[in-house]
Amino acid sequence: MRKHISRVLLGVFALTLAVATRAHAQDFPSVRIIAKGANGYMAVVGRDTMLIITQEFTDSIGSWHKELKMLRKENELQRRALTAHEQADGAQEKSRGDARAYVSELEQQLAGYKQLAEGYKRLNAPRTFSVEGGFGASGSDTKPALVFGVGWSRLRFWTLLQEANVGGFVGANFPIF
């Protein structure tokens, strides 16, 4: 620190000496140091207040300037990365929404297929008890004939009722389709 003070005082002395030895008759303002800082001095030159800084501080300002430029570049890269991330996030959110809609559609289709399968099961399932009937004619007798039957599971019992004919049948039900 004393080294800096010595440099500044030497600079002020040299400035004063140069002013005093000038060949022409120009008046130079007086210099008065009013405060000492960590990196220089505050001085009054004539009517103006000025800051006198050390060479070391001037050099550090240069390195700060370089560091600032580097940080600005890094900030720009991070800003671009953030923008790219936000765009990717938006695309992913859209993709997730599309996937949710697709899953919903598939679930609706699955529910429809389950209902269809239940309908086929009901059609294919043997009934425990059934009543069957019909009418028609038989052989040479053109009088109407009635057929009446009952079924249990796949087993069937029928009777034929006609004016001159009566008969009974036993059978089984074997679905093909």
pLDDT in tens, 44-87: 988 888 888 888 888 888 888 899 999 999 999 999 999 999 99
Q: What whole-number distance in Å separates Cα of residue 93 and Cα of residue 95? A: 5
pLDDT for 120:
84
- Is 139 a domain residue? yes
- Is 111 a domain residue? no
| CA distances, 117 to each of 123, 124, 154 (Å) | 10, 10, 22
Domain that holds residue 151: 129-172
Total domains, the chain: 2
Choose one of 33, 56, 79: the last residue of a domain.
56
- Is 140 a domain residue? yes
Query: Is 164:174 a contact under the CB 8 Å cutoff?
Result: no
Q: How many CB atoms lie within 10 A of CB 145?
A: 20
Sign of CA dihedral 157, 159, 160, 165: positive
Q: What is the mean pLDDT of the chain?
A: 82
- Is 44 a domain residue? yes
Choose one of 16, 33, 56: the last residue of a domain.
56
- Is 95 a domain residue? no
- Is 119 a domain residue? no
pTM: 0.36
pLDDT for 25:
46
> Is the model's pLDDT at 24 over the cut of 50?
no
Choose one of 10, 27, 56: the last residue of a domain.
56
